């Protein structure tokens, strides 16, 4: 705490010392100052000296803005290399037409997921079913819906994700594996499409575990053509236990090939 005499020695004729008070950033001096010029001449205002709260807040906001910009750039890298088909790029909940009770339920769950999305109340979804039922369609629609609410989301197939991580080992690449993993860890929603389609190896098992384990307590969506039982064999029990944790809802889908049915109707 500063001595009053030290503080008083710094005052000017139009400035009166009031007191020293504690602030989050330390001791702050309060002064009453009389305005000498202008339309408000003679009025008195209270000013603070030594308070760094505003500067600290500005620095914090600048750091967060830089981090968000970096995450957006990394998401663009994933978008660029995800090679999403033109059909899937156009996917939304409006143009998804369920054909069975299970696919209708899946669509309603997707709609609800977007409506109640909350980074503080994580929910995971695991869409399972055969080829062409619209699992990726719904998952991509959710990601787009989340981003429309100003959240960050990354959608990428697991095989292409692993390929992207391997490519980061090459010299001269713009982003390191650590950069990419960090983006996956920090995004508000991560959609891992086509889980189980990757080529099995010790390296792929470990990378999947690293990614899925880091997403515990965060919003993550998975799609797979495998049944839960087959997925255990494909991923291993350790990885599967991270996917099917207490926050994960299993969504089974059935019916005819969704993509082929649209051609038949056309």
Q: Where are the chain's structural domains?
A: 4-51, 74-265
pLDDT digits (tens, 9 = 90+) for 101-156: 999 999 999 999 999 999 999 999 999 999 889 999 999 999 999 999 989 899 99
pLDDT at 131: 87
Q: What is the DSSP letter of 194?
A: S
Task: Let me know if domain 74-265 sits in CATH 3.40.50.300.
Answer: yes
Cβ atoms of residues 194 and 224 within 8 Å = yes
Q: Which of 68-77, 139-148, 257-266 has the lowest mean pLDDT?
A: 257-266
**Beta strands 26-34 and 44-49: pairing type?**
antiparallel
pLDDT at 116: 97
Please say if the pLDDT value at position 55 is more than 70: no
Please say if the pLDDT value at position 167 is more than 90: no
pLDDT digits (tens, 9 = 90+) for 83-101: 677 888 889 999 999 999 9
pLDDT at 127: 97
pLDDT at 80: 61
How does 79-116 read in b/e, with b if 16+ C-beta sit within 10 Å?
eeebebeeebeebebeebebeeebbeebbebbbebbee
Measuring CA to CA, which residue among 172, 246, 181 is closest to residue 211? 181
Please say if the pLDDT value at position 171 is more than 60: yes
CA separation, residue 174 to residues 157, 168, 171 (Å): 21, 8, 9
| Residue 45 to residue 35: CA distance in whole angstroms | 8
- Of the two residues 38 and 89, the one the predictor is more confident about is 89
pTM: 0.71
* Pair of tokens at residue 58: 């500005």
């Amino acid at each position: 705490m500063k001595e009053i005499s030290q503080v008083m020695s710094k005052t000017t004729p139009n400035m009166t010392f009031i007191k020293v008070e504690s602030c989050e950033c330390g001791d702050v001096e309060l002064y009453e100052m009389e305005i000498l010029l202008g339309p408000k001449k003679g009025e008195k205002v209270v000013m603070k000296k030594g308070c760094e709260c505003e500067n600290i807040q500005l620095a914090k906001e600048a750091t967060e803005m830089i981090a968000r910009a970096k995450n957006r750039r990394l998401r663009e890298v994933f978008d660029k290399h995800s090679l999403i088909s033109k059909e899937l790029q156009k996917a939304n909940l409006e143009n998804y037409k369920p054909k069975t009770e299970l696919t209708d339920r899946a669509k309603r769950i997707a709609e609800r997921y977007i409506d109640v999305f909350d980074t503080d109340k994580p929910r995971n979804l695991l869409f399972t079913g055969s080829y062409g039922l619209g699992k990726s369609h719904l998952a991509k629609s959710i990601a787009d819906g989340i981003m429309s609410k100003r959240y960050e989301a990354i959608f990428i197939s697991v095989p292409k994700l692993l390929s992207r991580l391997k490519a980061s080992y090459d010299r001269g690449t713009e982003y390191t594996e650590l950069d990419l993993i960090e983006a996956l860890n920090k995004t508000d929603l991560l959609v891992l499409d086509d889980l189980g389609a990757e080529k099995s190896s010790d390296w792929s098992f470990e990378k999947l575990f690293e990614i899925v384990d880091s997403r515990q307590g965060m919003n993550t969506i998975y799609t797979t053509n495998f049944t839960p039982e087959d997925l255990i064999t494909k991923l291993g029990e350790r990885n599967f236990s991270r996917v099917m944790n207490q926050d994960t809802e299993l969504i089974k889908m059935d019916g005819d090939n969704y993509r082929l049915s649209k051609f038949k109707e056309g």
